[in-house]
Amino acid sequence: MKFLKEDPSIKLLLNDSLMHVRCCAHILNLCVQDGLDELRTLLEPIRGVIRWIRAARSAKRIFKHKCDEYGLRKKVIALYTPIRWNSTYKLLHDAIVYRDVLTDMYNEFQASDGQFITNDQ
């Protein structure tokens, strides 16, 4: 980067504009992350259930049982990754498909004093 800033031929050719261009994907990511921050209270319960299902064997068994109960194929639901805004899209897409299963599991979570049980004792 230092070479680009100091080379006179590049400076003259690009009129120094190269150093001021922002990556469109980065700007889009910042906008989406800002919007997702506004939805945090709606997204956190979904993310919490997904983390619980992926972390605890007992939750995986419950998830499989609930999928069978609702006639759905068991699937590994994508985790939320903060630097990949489309991970929220994938998570929400799967959450819509598995809405009944996740709702039942969340209600069980609420009934257990609001603690996701992640140890398999």
Q: What pLDDT is attached to residue 66?
A: 94
The tokens describing 76, both together, are 């590994």
46 and 56 part of one domain: yes
Q: What pLDDT is attached to residue 35?
A: 84
Average of per-residue pLDDT across 47-76? 90
State the maximum Cα–Cα separation within the chain, in Å, rounded to a whole number. 69
87 and 58 part of one domain: yes
59 and 103 part of one domain: yes
Summarize pLDDT for 24-60 with one digit per residue, the tens: 777 777 888 888 888 888 888 888 888 888 888 888 9
14 and 66 part of one domain: no
Domain that includes residue 113, residue range: 39-121
What is the reported pTM? 0.65
Share of the chain above pLDDT 90, in %: 20
Q: Is the pLDDT of residue 79 over 50?
A: yes
Coil, strand or helix at 6 = helix
79 and 56 part of one domain: yes
Q: How many domains does the chain have?
A: 2
Query: CA 121, CA 115: separation in Å to the nearest integer?
Result: 15
Burial 80-98 (b: 16+ CB within 10 A, else e): beeeebeebeebbebbeeb
